[in-house]
């Protein structure tokens, strides 16, 4: 795994991080309904964009799939 300090947050990265967020929430927040998760999810892209220092975990550099893991 590699950690990457990320200043540039294009649409693809934000979408991938929202997907990571959603998987995490669904795995740990079993008290939330689908409707509640979807309602909160609307705010995730803006929240990600406003994080002052964003570090993204990606697979090793040798991997062809560089989709964020965390």
How many domains are there within the chain? Answer: 1
Q: Which domain holds residue 11?
A: 2-58
Q: What angle do CA 60, 64, 70 make, to 5 degrees?
A: 50
Angle between helices 11-28 and 34-41 (to 10 degrees): 150
On whether residue 15 sits in a domain, the answer given is yes
Q: How far is CA 15 from the centre of its chain?
A: 7
pTM for the whole structure: 0.85
d(C-alpha 6, C-alpha 19), whole Å? 17
On whether residue 67 sits in a domain, the answer given is no
For every one of its 70 residues, what pLDDT tens digit does the chain have, with 9 covering 90 and above? 888 888 888 999 999 999 999 999 999 999 999 999 999 999 999 999 999 999 999 888 776 778 888 8
């Amino acid at each position: 795994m590699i950690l990457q300090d990320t200043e540039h947050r294009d649409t693809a990265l934000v979408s991938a991080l929202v997907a990571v967020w959603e998987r995490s929430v669904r795995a740990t927040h079993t008290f939330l309904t689908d409707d509640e998760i979807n309602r909160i999810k609307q705010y995730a892209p803006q929240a990600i964009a406003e994080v002052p220092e964003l570090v993204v975990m990606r697979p090793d550099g040798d991997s062809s799939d560089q989709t964020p893991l965390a």
